[in-house]
Amino acid sequence: MSNATITTLLFCLLLLAPLFYVFRRWQPSQASSRSRRDQLNEQSMRILSSAVEQSQSGVVIADCSGIIEYVNPRYTQITGYSNAEAVGRIAELMNNEQLTDPNNLTMQEAMQLGSSWETFMVSSRKNGERFWQQVTASPIHDDLGALSHIVLNIEDISERVETQAQMEQLAFYDPLTGLENRRLFKDRLEQSLKHVRRSKKSTALLFIDLDQFKRINDTLGHDAGDELLTTVARRLRECVREEDIVARLGGDEFTILLADISHADDAGLVARKILQSLTEPIQLGAQEVTVSGSIGITIAPEDSMNASVLMRNADLAMYRAKDQGRNNFQFFTDDMNIESQARMSLENELRLAVSNRDFVVFFQPQINLANNKICGFEALVRWRHEQVDLIPPDRFIPVAEETGLIIQVGEIVLRQACAQIKALQVAGLHGYTVAVNLSARQFRDSNLVSLVREVLTETQLEPRWLELEITESMLMDNIEQAIEILTELKKLGVTVTIDDFGTGYSSLSYLTQLPVDKLKVDRSFVSNLPESARHTAITTAIIAMAQRLKLQVVAEGVETASQANFLLDNQCNILQGFLFSPPVNPESLDQTLTQLGLMLETGTARCPA
């Protein structure tokens, strides 16, 4: 038996109770002539009547035209209207033509048909407060089968509706920005695709990623990060129409759905507007920051009619935008798919290479022009690939970094580099340092310090011969943590160099706090020496600063004699570059040491400018 049927039966019985009382009052007392059966009836009526009085549901009894004859205390409690105020009025549902039940019947129609009726509706309490109620109406018929009364059962479901709304909010909306979340966005995308099928119009999906979020979040704190995201969310909303969907997928990733666009260019216009609005400065506490975004765009039905494919397309296009120097937007093109497939296979092959240890470390000499001697090497990894021979690091380090494989690759390089220098020492070739590059992920790896210690012990290389190169941007991501890691490394007795110096963020003020030993002037400055006035100024400033902070300075990428002379004239003695030697494989190391050593002694390595 359904709930509605039970309710109806119960109310048929309950209804009779108050009516009975009313009826009783009209009758002259005939107690003496009452039969035993009458007494029993009266008793059960009293029970039923008090059940209605005490019911946890609001109960309204109206006649067949909707005029209220009775309301119970719970009804008064819910609505604020007393029995006296309610009786004689017309039940508001009675003539409401708009309000229908799931069978599309108005209450009156259902009552006439003799069926019960149920609906959810918003109503007003006496004090004007709005509330949600669930109403069940049941018809009562007289002996001849005509509708005589209607019983309304009323539940105040405001709390339930609110909890449900809150749960929906949690399930479908991002609590920080109030934007839709990934789940709801996926739904909307599906709906939008259905609409595309019917309407023959296009839909654009935009994938937006902020360019500097991580850095701001790390340097200014999470509260500032949250405020930034909220501001960005608001700006994104302002850039689109009311009916467009803006969602936050998580972190600093946002998506936008532009429905019913007639041309892909429309999406480009919106993207341009977004980039423009993002560049407006944002005030975060005392700090003013500026951000930019990279946007990928894909269009349905042109690119795909599958929601997951579209999401991936937009993501790929966004990465292309990042590759193109950020702060721009890119439309998805098919070649991005090919690229991503190539990347996938690269990733798998790289995994295999790691387990097979298919890497070889090359060594590029570093020269000290103060005494014309080779003072060390930089260890530079290559992937020894079956088909391609040697793959340069720029081609696979970024993938290794993203997939985490860099931890294993880095360990292989560190071991080979230390073992090689130790082997030179054993062969009687002393006095060479080896500089090993650390990637961002390796640097933050909690195992780094113990790994370095372990490798030094294993290879029996004294720590003073090992140098670790880290880049400026790796330090700036979280300066306090970086200082801690550097201090630990320095305790081991190894040297720390800041690589690519001058290309990172304006971090000069931090430099005094950092426990480092060396700066490496970036190749991009060296290559323009001495012609570029700007690069000459930067290089001399870096050298001067290093001297003031008592740090050593190295220049890399030295290709010409005039570059070498300029550096030497400005007190930068340690140089590395093709002018002296390219990176060489371990087998040729002996030979390189001999040949280059000879050239340096005779002065032929440093040509007159």
Query: Binder to ligand C2E among 392, 398, 431, 603 (CB under 6 A)?
Result: 392
* Contact call for residues 585 and 362 (beta carbons, < 8 A): yes
Q: Does 397 bind ligand C2E (CB under 6 A)?
A: yes
Q: Give the contact letters, 569-598, x = binds to ligand C2E (CB under 6 A), - = no.
A: --------xx----x---------------
Cis peptide leading into residue 530 (ω within 30°): yes
Q: Which is nearer to Ca ion, 328 or 527 (CB)?
A: 527
Q: Which is nearer to ligand C2E, 185 or 443 (CB)?
A: 443
* Residue 580 CB, nearest approach to ligand C2E (Å): 8
List the structure tokens of 1.
């038996």
Contacts of 66 (CB under 8 A, 6+ apart): 90, 91, 93, 94, 95, 150
* Contact call for residues 317 and 332 (beta carbons, < 8 A): yes
Query: Binder to ligand C2E among 86, 407, 499, 514 (CB under 6 A)?
Result: 499
Per partner kind, with CB cut-offs from 5 to 8 A, the member of ligand C2E, Ca ion, none near residue 293 is: none
Contacts of 572 (CB under 8 A, 6+ apart): 521, 539, 543, 553, 554, 555
**Whole-Å CA distances, 504 to 277, 469, 528:** 26, 14, 18
* Residue 452 CB, nearest approach to ligand C2E (Å): 14
User: Distance from CA of residue 424 to its chain's centroid?
Assistant: 49
* Residue 564 CB, nearest approach to Ca ion (Å): 17
* Residue 420 CB, nearest approach to ligand C2E (Å): 13
Rg (CA), the chain: 40
Give the interface with Ca ion as residue ranges (CB under 5 A): 437, 469, 499-500
The letter for the amino acid at 5 is T
- Number of residues near ligand C2E (by CB under 6 A): 22
Q: Which is nearer to ligand C2E, 19 or 589 (CB)?
A: 589
Which one of 33-41, 130-138, 179-187, 556-564 is the stretch in contact with ligand C2E (CB under 6 A)? 556-564
Query: Binder to ligand C2E among 149, 557, 567, 592 (CB under 6 A)?
Result: 557
| Rounded distance between C-alpha atoms, residue 227 and residue 492, angstroms | 41
Query: Binder to ligand C2E among 108, 364, 366, 420 (CB under 6 A)?
Result: 364
Q: Does 380 bind ligand C2E (CB under 6 A)?
A: yes
* Residue 485 CB, nearest approach to ligand C2E (Å): 15
Helices (H), 221-300: 222-239, 264-278
* Residue 589 CB, nearest approach to ligand C2E (Å): 15
* Residue 338 CB, nearest approach to Ca ion (Å): 31
Q: Give the contact letters, 416-455, x = binds to ligand C2E (CB under 6 A), - = no.
A: ---------------------xxx----------------
| Phi/psi-derived region of residue 61, left when phi > 0, alpha when psi is between -120 and 50, beta in every other case | beta
Q: Is 41 exposed, middle or buried (0-12, 13-18, 19+ CB in 10 A)?
A: middle
* Residue 376 CB, nearest approach to Ca ion (Å): 12
Q: Does 23 bind ligand C2E (CB under 6 A)?
A: no
Q: Which is nearer to ligand C2E, 273 or 523 (CB)?
A: 523
Contacts of 424 (CB under 8 A, 6+ apart): 430, 432, 589, 593
List the structure tokens of 391.
């793959």
Per partner kind, with CB cut-offs from 5 to 8 A, the member of ligand C2E, Ca ion, none near residue 392 is: ligand C2E
Q: How does DSSP assign 500-554, residue by residue?
A: EETSSSS-HHHHTTS---EEEE-HHHHTTTTT-HHHHHHHHHHHHHHHHTT-EEE
* Contact call for residues 418 and 425 (beta carbons, < 8 A): no
Q: Does 502 bind ligand C2E (CB under 6 A)?
A: no
Burial 102-134 (b: 16+ CB within 10 A, else e): eeebbbbebbeeebbbbbeeebeeeeeeebbbb
Query: Binder to ligand C2E among 15, 94, 229, 381 (CB under 6 A)?
Result: 381
* Residue 576 CB, nearest approach to Ca ion (Å): 9
* Contact call for residues 564 and 606 (beta carbons, < 8 A): yes
* Residue 440 CB, nearest approach to ligand C2E (Å): 9
Query: Binder to ligand C2E among 317, 413, 468, 575 (CB under 6 A)?
Result: 413
Which among 155, 136, 152, 140 is positioned nearest to 61, based on CA atoms?
152
Per partner kind, with CB cut-offs from 5 to 8 A, the member of Ca ion, ligand C2E, none near residue 394 is: ligand C2E
Binding site for ligand C2E (CB under 6 A): 364, 380-381, 392-394, 397, 410, 413, 437-439, 499-500, 523, 556-559, 577-578, 583
